A and B are shown apart, each in its own frame.
Chain A
Amino acid sequence: MSLTTNDQNSADEVAIQITDMNKWYGDFHVLKGIDLTVKRGEKIVVCGPSGSGKSTMIRCINDLEKHQSGKIEVLGTILDRNPKNIQAIRKDVGMCFQHFNLFPHMTVLENCMLAPTLVQGTSDSKAKETALKYLDKVKIRNQADKYPGQLSGGQQQRVAIARSLCMNPSVMLFDEPTSALDPEVIAEVLDVMVSLADMGMTMICVTHEMGFARKVADRVIFMDAGEIIEDDEPNAFFDNPKSDRTKLFLSQVLEH
C-alpha cells in the first residue's frame, strides 16, 4: 500500500508536518514549540548536544513519547490519542534504535517475520520471502537462523534495519543508530543507510556522523535546549552556520 502511494504522489507532497509541538517531563520543558515539515523522499539529519531533545522529538513522531500540545500529522493521519490513528502511523513509520532492540528470544528471521505476520496478516511463506529479501539487502542473509546474541553490534543494527523494512514503511526514523557501535563497524551500518537513501526513502536521522550528513542529507537540523536553532541544507549548514550555538557545537564535533 505504501509503495503505491509513494509512486503516485509527487515529490512535493508533505510526509510529516509538526506544528508548535510542546512536551514536558514533569516541570521540565523538553520540546519548545517545534515546527518541522518533511517532504516525501527528503532526508533530514538532526544533530545537537545531548539532552537537546532531538531523540524525544523523533520519538514523538511515532508516539513512543506523547506530545502534550501542538499538532503532528504523519502521511495524512493526525496523531491524537486515538489508538487506531497511532497504529496506522506506526505501521507506516519504521524506526531504528541506538541499542538495536532486537528480540533476543527469536532468531534473526523470526525477528523480521513477526510484525508482518501479526500486524499485516501476511502468510508465513510470504513474510519469509520478504524477510530474506531485505536481509539480503543488508548483506546478512547467511545469519538468518542465528540469535541476536550471537551477532556483532553492526550486524545486529543491520538486522534491525531489515526488520523495519519488512513492514514496507514510507518513513524511516533513526535514533542515533551508530552511537553504540564499535568504530570499525559503523561504516557497514552507514552504507546500508546510504543505499536506503538512494532508494528514495523518507528518512529522519538523529546522528553525530557529520560525514553522513554532508553526503546524504537534504537538510540538517541543529537543536539545542528543546528548540530548533538552525535548519539548512548541508553545505550552508557546515560552511556558513548562522547561529553562535551551532558554530560552537560544530567546532566541538569537528575538532577531531
Chain B
Amino acid sequence: MEQTKPPSELDIKGIIIQALFLIAVAVLITSAYSSGQTNLSKMGLTNGFSFLERATGWSYSFSMIDHSTDDPYYRTLFSGFLNTFVLGITAIVFSTIFGFAIGTARDAKNLAVQGSAAIFIQIFRNIPLILQLIFWYAVLIHLPSPRQAMGFYDTIFMSNRGVMIPTLNMSLYTWLIVVAIAIGAYFSINKFCKQKKPIKILAWVTIMAVSVLLLGNLFVPENEPLLSIPELKGLRFVGGVTLNIELVAMLIAIILYGSSYIAEVVRGGLQEVPKGLTEAGNSLGLSDRQIWFKIKMPMALRTILPPLGNQWIFLIKATTIGVAIGYSDLFMIISTSITQSGQTLELIGILMSAFLLINFSLARLINLLNKKLQLKGH
C-alpha cells in the first residue's frame, strides 16, 4: 500500500496543442523559405556566403583597422563589428562611471548637488537619443575648419574635421599587448602581493609604465617620438590621433544619455538600502564616507546590477543609430552591403548573430557578477 507509485497520466489535449503549435511554426518557416527562394531567384541572386570573399568596391568613413575599397566583405564586416564593439564598450565604461557619480549626487544630502544631478537627469533622459545625436553632430559640424581649430594648451584641438588628441605611437596590436599586460598584472598583484592597497596600486602603475616604455621603444617606427602630439601643418593636422566627428558625436550623445539612465538606476539602488543599515553604521561611529563605501554601495550594488546590465545591453544596441550621421558601425556596414550586394538574408543573419553574441555574453557576464554578489542565505 505505502510503496505504490502515483498513477501516471497522459495529457492528450496538451500534446495535441503542442504538436499543432510546432506544425504551425514549421509551416511558417518553410513557406517563408520557399517564397524567399522564388523571390530571390527572380532578382537573379544566389544564396550562400561565398560573397564574403568578394571585394566590396566601396569605402566607408571610419575604421580602426586599415581599410580600402579592395577589402573583401568579411574584412569590412569585421571592421564594422569592431567599430560597434569598441564604441559600445567605451560608452558602457564612461556611462557607468558618470552614472554612478551622478546617481550618488542625486542621493546626496546637499541640496545644490542633488538639484544639479536631478536637472542633468531630467534633461538628458527625456529627449530621444537620436535627436541628441543629430544635435551634437550639427554642433560639431559647425566648428571652425582645421586652420582655425580650437586648441587647448596646444595638445588637444577641435575642428569640424574631428577632435585631435595626443597618443602613444603604437599600433593596434601593441595596444592589445598593453591591455593584456594590464589585466595580467592586476590579477598577479592581487594574488601574490600581500601589501596594502596604495603599494599595490604603485606596483601596478610601475609595471605599466615600464612595459609601455619598453614596448613603445621596441615597436615605434624609426625617427618618430613615442608620444605623438597633434600639430597644425599647412591645411591639416599631423601627429596625434584624430577622432572623427561622427565618433565624437556618438560618444557624447550615448554617454550623456546612458549616464542619465544609469544614474537613475544607481539612485534607485541606493534608496532601496534599508535606512536601518546607515543608522547602524552611524551608531558604530563610522564616517559618512566609510558608510557609503562599506555599507551603502555594496548593499545597493545587489539591486543595481540587474537593471544596470539591461542598460549596458541597451547601450550596445543604441550604437546602431550611428547610421543616422554616417558613423560606420556594424549596422551601417550591413545596410550598405545589402544595397550593394543584395545578399539580404545572409547579411541580416550576420547582423542578428553578432548582436546575439555580444548581448548574450554580456548577459552571462552580468549573471556571473550577480551570483558573486548575491547575499549568502538569501
Direct contact of A and B (CB under 8 A): yes
**Chain A residues engaging chain B, CB cutoff 8 angstroms:** 22-24, 27, 29, 32-33, 68-69
Q: How many angstroms from the CA of A27 to the CA of B1 in the assembled complex?
A: 14
Q: Is the CB of B7 within 8 A of A29?
A: no
Residue pair A33, B7 in contact (C-beta under 8 Å): no
Contact B1 A68 (CB under 8 A): no
Q: How far is the CA of A32 from the CA of B1 in the complex (A)?
A: 8
In the bound complex, residues from chain A placing their C-beta under 8 Å from that of B1 are 32-33
Whether A68 and B2, one on each chain, are in contact in the complex, defined by CB atoms closer than 8 angstroms, is no
**A24–B2 touching, CB < 8 Å:** no
Q: Is the CB of A69 within 8 A of B7?
A: yes
Q: List 9 A-B contacts (CB under 8 A).
A: A22-B4, A24-B5, A27-B5, A29-B2, A32-B1, A32-B2, A68-B6, A68-B7, A69-B6
* Residues of chain A lying within 8 A (CB to CB) of residue B6: 22-24, 27, 68-69
Tell me the bound Cα distance from A27 to B4 in angstroms: 10
Report the nearest A residue to B9, measured CB to CB.
A68
User: Contacts A32-B2, A68-B6 given; 14 further ones with Cβ under 8 A?
Assistant: A22-B4, A22-B6, A23-B6, A24-B5, A24-B6, A27-B5, A27-B6, A29-B2, A32-B1, A33-B1, A68-B7, A69-B4, A69-B6, A69-B7
Name the A residues within 8 Å of B7 (CB-CB).
68-69
- Would you give the shortest CB distance from B316 to chain A, in whole angstroms? 39
Contacts of A32 in B (CB 8 A): 1-2
Docked Cα-Cα span, A94 to B5, in Å, equals 32
Q: Tell me which residues across on chain B come within 8 A of A68, comparing CB atoms.
A: 6-7
Task: List the 3 shortest-distance A-B pairs measured between CB atoms, nearest first.
Answer: A24-B6, A68-B6, A68-B7
Name the residue on B nearest A22 (C-beta).
Answer: B4
Determine the residue in chain A with the shortest Cβ distance to B2: A32
Q: Give chain B nearest CB distance to A213 CB in angstroms.
A: 29
Number of A-B contacts (CB under 8 A): 16
* B residues near A24, Cβ cutoff 8 Å: 5-6
**Least Cβ–Cβ distance between A138 and chain B, in angstroms:** 38
Taking CB atoms, residues of chain B closer than 8 Å to A27 are 5-6
Residues of B contacting A29 in the complex (Cβ-Cβ under 8 angstroms): 2
- Among B2, B5, B7, residue most surrounded by chain A Cβ atoms (within 10 Å): B2
**Chain B 82-126 interface 0/1 with A at a Cβ cutoff of 8 Å (1 = within):** 000000000000000000000000000000000000000000000
Q: Nearest residue in B to A66 (C-beta to C-beta)?
A: B9
Residues of chain A with a CB closer than 8 A to B4's CB: 22, 69
Q: Report the minimal beta-carbon distance from B17 to chain A, rounded to whole angstroms.
A: 17
A51 to chain B, nearest CB (A): 17
When chains A and B are docked, how far (Å) is the Cα of A32 from the Cα of B4? 10
- Determine the residue in chain B with the shortest Cβ distance to A81: B9
Rounded to whole angstroms, the CA-CA distance of A23 and B6 in the bound complex is 7
Q: Which residue of B lies closest to A24 (CB)?
A: B6
Give the residue name and chain of the B residue nearest to A33 (CB). Answer: B1
**CB nearest neighbor in B for A20:** B1
Looking at B1, B5, B6, the one whose CB has the most chain A CB atoms below 10 A away is B6
Q: What separation, in Å, do the CA atoms of A101 and B311 have in the docked complex?
A: 37
In whole angstroms, what is the CA distance A68 to B7 when docked? 7
Q: Hey, which chain B residues are within 8 Å of A23, CB to CB? A: 6
**Chain B min CB distance to A63 (Å):** 15
Within residues 1 to 27 of chain B, which ones have a CB less than 8 A from any CB in chain A? 1-2, 4-7
Chain B residue with Cβ nearest A226: B2
Query: With A and B bound together, what is the CA distance between A24 and B1 in angstroms?
Result: 13
Residues on the A chain within 8 Å of B2, using CB: 29, 32
Q: How far is the CB of B34 from chain A (nearest CB, A)?
A: 43
Closest to B6 in A: A24
CA distance A22 to B7 in the complex (A): 10
Residues of B contacting A22 in the complex (Cβ-Cβ under 8 angstroms): 4, 6
A60 to chain B, nearest CB (A): 14
Expressed in whole angstroms, the minimum distance between the Cβ of B2 and any Cβ of chain A is 6
Identify the closest chain A residue to B3 (Cβ).
A29
A29 to B5, CA, bound (A): 8
Which residue from chain A places its CB closest to the CB of B8 in the assembled complex?
A68
Closest partner residue, chain B, to A29 (CB atom): B2
A32 to B7, CA, bound (A): 14
In the assembled complex, the CB of A164 is this many whole angstroms from the nearest CB of chain B, namely 31
Instruction: Give the docked Cα–Cα distance between A133 and B6 (Å).
Output: 45
Residue of A nearest to B1 (CB): A33
A142, chain B: closest CB distance, angstroms: 37
Considering the chains assembled together, what is the distance between the CA atoms of A68 and B8 in angstroms?
Answer: 9
Could you tell me which residues of chain B, from 199 to 251, have a CB within 8 Å of some CB in chain A? Answer: none
How far is the CB of B4 from the nearest CB of chain A, in Å? 7
Task: Determine the residue in chain B with the shortest Cβ distance to A69.
Answer: B7
Most buried by B among A23, A33, A68: A68
A69 to B7, CA, bound (A): 8
Cα-based distance from A221 to B5 in the complex (angstroms): 26
Min CB distance, A235 to chain B, in Å? 32
Give the CA-CA distance A22 to B6 in the complex, in Å.
Answer: 8
Report Cα–Cα, A32/B5, bound state, in Å: 11
